[in-house]
Structure 1
Amino acid sequence: MKQQFQLELEDVKRIAAAAEAHAAAKGWAVSIAIVDAGGHLLWLQRMDGAAPISAQIAPAKAHTAALGRRESKVYEDMINGGRVSFLSAPGIAATLEGGVPIVVDGQHLGAVGVSGVKSSEDAEIAKAGIAAL
C-alpha cells in the first residue's frame, strides 16, 4: 500500500500567505483558492479590490488543476489549438491559465487557483505560493 502526503492547515496557510504577499507586492488584487487532491476547497480568499467573479473562477481553476494533475493552461492550450470538444469534458471546471498543481516528491497534493489579473500573472502568483512549501 502506498502512503500519500496530505496538505495540512499550516501548509495551506503558508501557500496562501506567500501567494498573497506576491500579489500584494505587484499591486494585484486577486482571489486565491487552494484545494486538496480531490479538488475540495481548503482555502479561499478575495483580496480587497478583486472582482467578485474572481472568487468563483479561482476555485474552478484549482479544481481543474488538481483533478487533471496538470496546469489548467494545458486545457486552455488544447481548446485554443482546435480541440474544442474538451469543453464538454466532465470535471473540468475552468479551462483558463491560473490553476497550478501542488506536487511534492512526485505526489499530487492538490492545487492553487488564482484569478483577477492576466492569466499568466495568475499562474505566477499560484507558483509563488507553492514555492513556499
Structure 2
Amino acid sequence: MTSQTITTTQLNLNAAYELLAQARRACAERGFAATIAITDAGGHLRVFERADNAPFLTVSVAIDKAWTAASFGMSTSQWNQYMAEPTVAPLAQHPRLTPVGGGAPIIIDGQIAGGIGISGGSSVQDHEAAEEALRAMNLIG
C-alpha cells in the first residue's frame, strides 16, 4: 500500500501582512474604511484588521468573503453571478457563503493558497481593492 501526500501552498505570515497593507492602501485610495480578512487555503483566518471606523458588520462579512473565495478558488463576484442559476441557487442557504463582491482567491504558483475578503465599501469597491492588492503582490490567477 502506498501512501499519498497532498500538499497545499501557503502564504507565509510576513507576506500575509504585506497583502493586508496593500489592501489597506487600495481601500484608502478608494476612500473607504475597511475590514480586511486573509485566510489560508482551508479558509482559516490568518490575518485580520478592522479600521477604526469600519462598521462591526464588516467583520463577519470580510471573513466569510475570504472563506468563500478560498473554498472554490473564485471571486465572490463570480459566486454572485452563479447564484442566478437554479441548480446553484440553493447554496445561498449556506450560512458562510457570501456571494457579494470583495472576496478573491490568493493564487501562488497556480494553486489556491487562501482568500482575501474586504468589506466596507460598495461590492465593486471591495472587489477592486482586493484584486489590486493581489496584483501588487503577483498573487492573482
Q: 1:115 aligns with which of 119, 122, 129?
A: 119
User: Which residue number corresponds to residue 87 of structure 1?
Assistant: 92
What is the identity, as a one-letter code, of the residue corresponding to 1:108? Answer: I
1:34-54 deviation per Cα after TM superposition (whole angstroms, max 9, x unaligned): 000000001111112211100
Which deviates the most, 52-61 or 21-30? 21-30
What is the identity, as a one-letter code, of the residue corresponding to 1:127? Answer: E
Question: Are residue 36 (structure 1) and residue 25 (structure 2) matched?
Answer: no
Which entry has the higher C-alpha Rg, 1 or 2? 2
1:87-113 deviation per Cα after TM superposition (whole angstroms, max 9, x unaligned): 135x75312111100112211100100
Q: How far is the alpha carbon of 1:73 from its aligned partner?
A: 1.5
What SS does structure 2 have at the residue aligned with 1:97? coil
Check whether the contact 2:9–2:41 (CA below 8 A) recurs between aligned residues. Answer: no
Unaligned runs of 5+ in 1: none
The TM-score, its normalising length taken from structure 1, stands at: 0.89
Q: Percent identity?
A: 32
Report the aligned-residue RMSD: 1.8
Q: How far is the alpha carbon of 1:62 from its aligned partner?
A: 0.4
